[in-house]
Amino acid sequence: SKTLHIIGGGMAGSEAAWQAAHQGVQVVIHEMRPQVGTFAHRTGHLAEMVCSNSFRSDDHESNAVGLLHWEMRAAGGLIMEQAAVHRLPAGGALAVDRDPFAESVTARIKAHPLISVSYEEITELPDDGHWIIATGPLTSGALAESIRAATGAEALAFFDAIAPIVYAESVDMSVAWMQSRYDKGETAEEQTAYINCPLTREQYEDFIDALLAAEKTEFKEGETAGYFDGCLPIEVMAERGRETLRFGPMKPVGLTNPHQPDVKAYAVVQLRRDNKLGTLFNMVGFQTKMKYGAQTDVFKRIPGLTNASFARLGGIHRNTFINSPTLLDNQMRLKSHPHIRFAGQITGVEGYVESAAMGLLAGRMAAAEIKGETLLPPPPETATGALITHITGGAEAKTFQPMNVNFGLFPPINAKGGRRGRKDRYKAYTDRAKDAFTAWLG
Ligand code: FAD
């Protein structure tokens, strides 16, 4: 059959349906709400925003998520079209009136002659046909079980445990140094896999005090069930004892500080390379529920990170997502079951905008396939392309955690003729992206 079936009518599923229908393909969306609910959704509308009512920065000249807005508009995206209609004043952010927004997306979809919506929960991976799975962070249990059976237990996660990610260039290497513990690893790549930040006893005590005092986000009821085994937040570790971190993720063993070879560090924070480009590093073992403002305050106390800028801050959430770097091809198809694509947050992107962007891409790719064509992904110089390149290949598969769009995912622009100002540099990224995205659309 030439019909495209989409499971889940959230941000990604709605956008995927819209894009495919605009390519002339017949679409059925299978949405379980309102029959079956989730702990976060309140309505039966498509594209419901479950928490914040903001699509974040709309600055498409110097912000990566604003650039993603620009690209989605250029591609005729439904989510951006309706966000513009229901926009609320919010400075540089694209905030919307959430209920009318979701009602309009639903109405636009239902009015499209090529799209129909079937309100039902799908509980098993389909055997044949053309499918996109866009069931999001709160994918229903039965379907998650079926995905798990097809992909392997290791390849499907039910929580994210996100350690903060730092731009490599913002780490002060006159204080920090590169070395893997006990100098493990032969290749140059392995030897540049870790950055180490040393703390003296006073700095460690000060850090623990700040950590204990920091403001935390509370877990929602039912959110933590069966979770806390492997992956405690750092503040919980610190609450168990002031020394716990020093014998855990901050242990100073197997490392020699070349800046001060005679001084043994009291504790060390390790950062591990997070992408092949080497532009992003994550703070190893530093998953946290601290509020965002508190995280930057606390982490700036770590020597070497005084001026760090963060590509993303840490968090722990209920979040169903697959290990896309190992499971998906660059057409977003499950390698083992190529009639099934994945889109949205379940692919390991995070956020309304990123999820909708992955829906846009999956919808267009699936439509092309149904018409006997192949649509290549946009190049990594674009925001959409940077995301898809990251999740299907650029990210380290072993430590894969959900990712927001950010300039660290883009191929770096060489700052020839001296260091450009940050704003100019981001403008260079977004100019390059817009040209590349326009060419891809053409
Ligand atoms: P969703 O928008 O969740 O859509 C998935 C759809 O699939 C849902 O409608 C669901 O009912 C349906 N579904 C699930 N299983 C089945 C099934 N078996 N059969 C049929 N239908 C099914 N992002 C932000 O940008 N800002 C925030 O403030 C924010 N806060 C969040 C707070 C919480 C508590 C959670 C859980 C997530 C939050 N997110 C936030 C992430 C946000 O939910 C996602 O980025 C975005 O909604 C993902 O889009 P999606 O289309 O992948 O999934």
Residue 343 pLDDT > 90 = yes
- In this predicted model, what pLDDT tens digit does every residue of 80-112 receive, in sequence order? 999 999 999 888 999 999 999 999 999 999 999
Average pLDDT of the segment spanning 396-410: 92
- In this predicted model, what pLDDT tens digit does every residue of 234-248 receive, in sequence order? 998 999 999 999 999
Query: Is the CB–ligand 1 distance for residue 9 below 6 Å?
Result: yes
Query: Is the CB–ligand 1 distance for residue 138 below 6 Å?
Result: yes
CA nearest ligand 1 atom 46, residue: 352
Reading across the β-sheet that carries 194-199, which strands appear in turn?
177-178, 194-199, 267-273, 280-283, 165-167, 310-312
Give the pLDDT band (50/70/90) at residue 437. Answer: very high
What gap in Å lies between CA 56 and CA 353, rounded to an integer?
8
Please state, rounded to an integer, the average pLDDT across all residues of the chain: 93
| Ligand 1 pocket mutation, candidates 138, 145, 347, criterion most atoms within 8 A of CB | 138
- What tokens were used for 178? 């590169």
Ligand 1 atom closest to Cα of 319? Answer: 36
Query: Is the CB–ligand 1 distance for residue 10 below 6 Å?
Result: yes
Given this model, what pLDDT does residue 256 score? Answer: 95
Give the pLDDT band (50/70/90) at residue 418. Answer: low
Give the pLDDT band (50/70/90) at residue 394. Answer: confident
CA nearest ligand 1 atom 25, residue: 351
Query: Residue 285, Cβ neighbours under 10 Å: how many?
Result: 19
Ligand 1 atom closest to Cα of 38? Answer: 11
CA nearest ligand 1 atom 32, residue: 51
Query: Is the CB–ligand 1 distance for residue 145 below 6 Å?
Result: no
Burial of 312-338, coded b for 16+ CB within 10 Å and e otherwise, reads bbbbbbbbbbbbbbbbbeebbbbeebe
Q: Which of 97-106, 135-144, 148-157 has the lowest mean pLDDT?
A: 148-157
- In this predicted model, what pLDDT tens digit does every residue of 257-279 receive, in sequence order? 999 999 999 999 999 998 888 99
| Ligand 1 pocket mutation, candidates 352, 358, 403, criterion most atoms within 8 A of CB | 352
- Give the residue from 407, 406, 401 showing the smallest Cα distance to 285: 401
Q: What is the DSSP letter of 349?
A: B
- What tokens were used for 343? 């889109």
Hey, which residues does 122 pair with through a beta bridge? Answer: none
Q: Among the residues of 328-421, which ranges form H helices? A: 352-370, 383-389
Query: Is the CB–ligand 1 distance for residue 140 below 6 Å?
Result: yes
Q: What is the DSSP letter of 393?
A: I
Query: Is the CB–ligand 1 distance for residue 102 below 6 Å?
Result: no
Query: Is the CB–ligand 1 distance for residue 134 below 6 Å?
Result: yes
- Give the residue from 5, 7, 6, 15 showing the smallest Cα distance to 357: 15
Query: Is the CB–ligand 1 distance for residue 369 below 6 Å?
Result: no
Query: Residue 173, Cβ neighbours under 10 Å: how many?
Result: 12
Asked if 405 and 380 count as a contact pair (C-beta separation under 8 A), the reply is: no
Given this model, what pLDDT does residue 225 score? Answer: 47
Q: Please spell the DSSP secondary structure of 289-311, one letter per residue.
A: -B-HHHHHHHHTTSTT-TT--EE
- Give the residue from 82, 7, 3, 5 showing the smallest Cα distance to 49: 82
Given this model, what pLDDT does residue 420 score? Answer: 65
Residue 222 pLDDT > 70 = no
- In this predicted model, what pLDDT tens digit does every residue of 42-75 receive, in sequence order? 999 999 999 899 999 999 999 999 999 999 999 9
Cis peptide before 34 (omega within 30 of 0): yes
Residue 205 pLDDT > 60 = yes
Query: Is the CB–ligand 1 distance for residue 324 below 6 Å?
Result: no
- What tokens were used for 257? 């500080």
Instruction: Return the H-helix or E-strand segment holding 93.
Output: strand 93-96
CA nearest ligand 1 atom 12, residue: 8
Average pLDDT of the segment spanning 105-121: 98
- What tokens were used for 205? 């005590």
> Which ipTM score applies to this complex?
0.99
Reading across the β-sheet that carries 54-57, which strands appear in turn?
54-57, 93-96, 87-88
Give the pLDDT band (50/70/90) at residue 160. Answer: confident
